[in-house]
Amino acid sequence: MLVPVEISSFAVDSSKGSPLIILREAGGGRSVAVPLDHVDANAIAMHTLQVRVDKPLTIDLAKILIEQLGAVLYRVVISDVSEDGVFSAGLIIKADGGASLKVIDCRPCDAITLAVRSGAPIFVRSEVFLKISSGSGLSESEQFRAYIRSIDTADFGRYVLE
């Protein structure tokens, strides 16, 4: 089953220093953190802040190509996550005047960025939520609490968490 999600927030993976986008179930409590590369994080931020550039970004070229070929980005689907946390995604494109759907496998960060720039909905397969929650045997809130407890406050320098 496909679960509609919304962009909830952004975060940083402290172990890798890479950006994450938090997708939250629309009208629900489940969420998933999907890694982004810095280029995609910047493209989403630029779109959100309505920053204009002289020439289109690479992700904008993909959007332009889809549109110029008479197709529409119908939806983005985060379809799977491996045991080591690598996500899979696909672009669902309506082609031939809406008569056919084409599925294009791509990186989740590209799919999400293209969805944001195109205004297309984002979905996560329910199996992805199940894999994430069953991966550690802990609920999402328990996982978050465990993560908070694992933070070394020395990383904050002279600031102390109380």
Domain span holding position 87: 2-136
Residue 131 lies in a domain: yes
Per-residue pLDDT tens over the stretch 102-142: 999 999 999 999 999 999 999 999 999 998 876 554 455 65
Per-residue pLDDT tens over the stretch 35-54: 999 999 999 989 989 999 99
| Residue among 72, 81, 83, 77 at smallest CA distance from 128 | 81
Residue 101 lies in a domain: yes
Per-residue pLDDT tens over the stretch 48-82: 899 999 999 999 999 999 999 999 999 999 999 99
Domain count, the chain: 1
For residue 158, give every residue at least 6 positions away whose Cβ sits within 8 Å of its Cβ, in sequence order, or none: none
Instruction: Say whether pTM exceeds 0.75.
Output: yes
Residue 159 lies in a domain: no
Query: For the chain, what is the radius of gyration of the CA atoms?
Result: 18
Residue 65 lies in a domain: yes
Residue 155 lies in a domain: no
Residue 146 lies in a domain: no
Residue 40 lies in a domain: yes
Residue 145 lies in a domain: no
What CATH number does residue 118 fall under? Answer: 3.10.690.10
